[in-house]
Structure 1
Amino acid sequence: MTLRRIQRDQIRLGMYVHAFEGSWFKHPFWRRGFLLEREKDVETVLASEIETLLIDISKGRNLSPLPVTGAQEAAALEAEAQHDERMAAATEVVNRSRETMRGLLNEARLGKGVRSDAVVSVVEDVTASIEQNRHALLKVLRLKTKDEYTYLHSVAVCALMVNLARQIGLDDETTAEMGTAGLLHDIGKVKLPDALLNKPGRLTPDEFALVKTHSMQGFQMLQEIDGIPAAALDVCQHHHEKIDGTGYPHGLQAEQISLAARMGAICDVYDAVTSSRPYKEAWPPVDAITRMRQWIGHFDAELLFSFMLSIGVFPVGTIVQLSNDRLGVIIEGGRHAAKPKVLAFYSTRRRKFTRTELVIAGDGRSSDAILGEVDPKAWDISQERIDRLVQLATPWV
């Protein structure tokens, strides 16, 4: 079964009607699930009060695409050219940042100090690229190879920190500090053997204890450099702390962990698990976010949802508040350069279930923008109903 929603005036002979939407009393047919074989039936539908219906294109005719005009073809070519241009610009930023980080880390391994001008240059490049087209930069960064991880992980965390900072409304100066913190958060790993960092198997207790020293070693390195923001020192030292106090190096809990370090924890883990390494394959973004949400006590839950908003990736089945006074359930989680699909089903203003509608979640200016996550229990929405809604929407994904 492959369902497609169409408007009443799009109906054609040869289509297989799966269901009419809206009130049953407006339907011109008593049955559901039939092939439109008579012109008279088409005319009956066109004359009815039906607004939309579902057709099964695996059993009947699909909606014929409209002929492409010269203007439409030109617009499509222009859009493709703009996309290619944005991707090329993002790739240039990533390549330039990778080489800068390669030089910085190699110098740090030799005991030389971190050059502040180089750090500022990368953060400014990344921030400008995020402002121009965040999806392009984040997509290019996700394409890094296993061999590039050492240099591009820090660039990716820098970009994710800047992106998250913008999402939660931090000012320009603080955003730049967060980007710097992301870029330098793992600087202490230059003190560890590459063989240990890239070991394909499970670390022994002694090896893991050695790896955990990188946060304090990095903190000590950055303390010796003039002009490093306090946020960078904090994130370097505390990006492995957890909300429940089981992290390291100090076992901080909840509000004892700064906003910068809580942001760093999310951005660091997300890029790590969505990257390919010599000892593991990358997780898809939706899988990564789904699993991260299940690690109760690891991350700041509210901040993690803001992170999801910033990258446009959501776990399937999440109930969200839309900006048009409706609740919806995520049926396709989205990925870089794509927007999540939401099945709207409830009016918060009228406090009642409504006819379902498939929408593509937009940005903050859209009438279908996602504002936040909702506890379904607060609206008497059972898990059974959520599961049914997801199942209902599956053919549209």
Structure 2
Amino acid sequence: MARMPARNGLLTVLRQIPPNRGVTMLRRIDRDQARLGMFVHDFDGPWLRHPFWRPRFLLSSPRDLARVLDSALETLVIDESRGAALHPDAVAGEPPARSARPVTAAPASFASGIAREHSCSFEEERPRAAKLLKQSTREMKRLFGEVRAGKAIRCDDFAPLVEQICASVTRNSHALISLSRLRSRDDYTYVHSVAVSALMMRFARSLDMAPDAVFDLGLAGLLHDVGEMIVPERILTKPGSLSDEEFAVIRSHPEQGYRLLSGAAELPEVVVDVCRHHHERSDGSGYPLRLAGEEISVAARIAAICDVYDALTSDRAYKAAWSPAEAITRMHGWAGHFDPELLFRFMRTLGLFPEGLLVELRSNRLGVVLPNGRRASRPLVRAFFSTRERAAMPLEDVVIDDSLAQDQIIAIRDPLAWGFPDWAVRAEQLMTATLRQPARAA
């Protein structure tokens, strides 16, 4: 498939396909016209306005239909060649032969259990997170060992871990993720799965996603690398460079995982999708299918970011860990690898931005991100330009935090679009300028 242009940051422009091609039959309908048996091709409007992570799927579940009807969407796009048409005699017809995997809801205790958790400090959560990390690593070794032995994967086996990880992230968003970076190299695969699960749920919660979506992404994080259970240990832990043959074996793990998970009927479709596509890249350079842009689901794009971030910030057999700030800087520099809007939202979730980046603040100012040393979880931005007046203004350093009373970074901006052709030089001048002590913005 060809790459498709983005609309509203993450959604696609409705493709205009000539009628004689007979490939798809796309129709835009009102939200209230949605019926069981329709195949959803796309959602109109910003992606955060709808509760689904899958870009395309059959409306086969009354629960999913209710979520569409109760959403903030106004219109959506259906493919009448793959599902029921917008016609009174067709909505109750037979579903198409190619149906979507049924979605299993999160355990009934999940949402209520998380709602009872109260936030606490890093030091308060640290001992609980350390205990959970040890227990979850041991449990992942056991469960993945059963997979190696041929046991079928069951959602219920992993659900308790998802609940415990999410509870820890709810109490303190930093503790479990920070401690996971202290893992033993021998335990990398298992702790990596726990860390990616925690990152994905933290990301989902920061986007105010529904509990079902948070649970599904957490489960997807735990199982995204299950295909590595088929890869020989000597290749996974090899300290030197891999041969072409060994690298090919490593690259086979998404398809190996896909085959393992495809036999587990109760798993949410998003889990299988993330397992198969978390190594795809927005520019089509990934694997195994070289998907590009909107061909990759939002969930798989989120998983790609969380997977790479955790890998970069972890000690591996063949490389030392990078700092979180260095990892984010490198990821931002890899143009075409990650969805730009999702990567920006991930930066906001972590409170990490590359030094020297041009950003726009909620206060209608442009600023440059400054190094912030040990306070890296609270970005420091030097504001220097008014977007309303389109003119320079007195320099002011702004500490960014989660408080709604404080200024916020709302976007990454292109220096050329704002008349800064030599941005590297300008940024260096701004970052080294002398001014008063950092002040909080009103």
State the TM-score, normalizing by the size of structure 1: 0.75
How far has the Cα of 1:393 moved from its partner? 6.3
**Local SS of the residue matching 2:433:** helix
| Correspondence for 1:170 | 209
1:393 and 1:316 map into 2 onto residues whose CA distance is: 17
1:159 and 1:336 map into 2 onto residues whose CA distance is: 22
After superposition, where does 1:234-273 map in structure 2 within 5 Å? 234-273=273-312
Q: Does 1:391 align with 2:427?
A: no
CA contact (8 A) 1:318 1:330 kept: yes
CA contact (8 A) 1:329 1:390 kept: yes
Per-residue CA deviations over 1:169-217 (Å, capped at 9, x if unaligned) read: 3222112111111110000100111110111111111111111111111
1:205 and 1:393 map into 2 onto residues whose CA distance is: 52
CA contact (8 A) 2:122 2:174 kept: no
Change (3 A) 1:173 1:225: same
| Correspondence for 1:93 | 132
Q: Does 1:153 align with 2:192?
A: yes
CA contact (8 A) 1:320 1:329 kept: yes
Q: Does 1:342 align with 2:381?
A: yes
How far has the Cα of 1:364 moved from its partner? 5.7
CA contact (8 A) 2:136 2:161 kept: yes
2:435 and 2:306 map into 1 onto residues whose CA distance is: 30
Identity of aligned residues (%): 44
CA contact (8 A) 2:328 2:352 kept: yes
| Correspondence for 1:327 | 366
| Correspondence for 1:118 | 157
**Local SS of the residue matching 1:354:** strand
Instruction: Provide the alpha-carbon RMSD of the alignment.
Output: 2.2
Per-residue CA deviations over 1:273-301 (Å, capped at 9, x if unaligned) read: 11001211001111111111221221111
Which among 179, 203, 214 is matched to residue 253 of structure 2?
Answer: 214
Structure 1 residues without counterparts, runs of 5 or longer: 1-80
How far has the Cα of 1:335 moved from its partner? 7.2
Moved more, 224-233 or 325-334: 325-334
After superposing on structure 2, the runs of 4+ consecutive aligned residues of structure 1 that deviate more than 6 Å are 334-337, 393-397
CA contact (8 A) 1:315 1:333 kept: no
Q: Does 1:231 align with 2:270?
A: yes
1:381 and 1:337 map into 2 onto residues whose CA distance is: 26
1:178 and 1:110 map into 2 onto residues whose CA distance is: 26
| Correspondence for 2:342 | 303
| Correspondence for 1:127 | 166
| Correspondence for 2:141 | 102
| Correspondence for 1:21 | none
Structure 2 residues without counterparts, runs of 5 or longer: 1-119
Change (3 A) 1:190 1:369: same
One-letter amino acid of the counterpart of residue 169, structure 2: I
Pair member with larger Rg: 1
CA contact (8 A) 1:139 1:336 kept: no
CA contact (8 A) 1:177 1:232 kept: yes
CA contact (8 A) 1:235 1:260 kept: yes
**Local SS of the residue matching 1:134:** coil
Change (3 A) 1:82 1:317: closer
Structure whose residues are more often helix by fraction: 1
| Correspondence for 1:189 | 228
Change (3 A) 1:395 1:201: farther
One-letter amino acid of the counterpart of residue 310, structure 1: T
CA contact (8 A) 1:344 1:357 kept: yes
| Correspondence for 1:43 | none
How far has the Cα of 1:366 moved from its partner? 3.7
Moved more, 230-239 or 284-293: 284-293
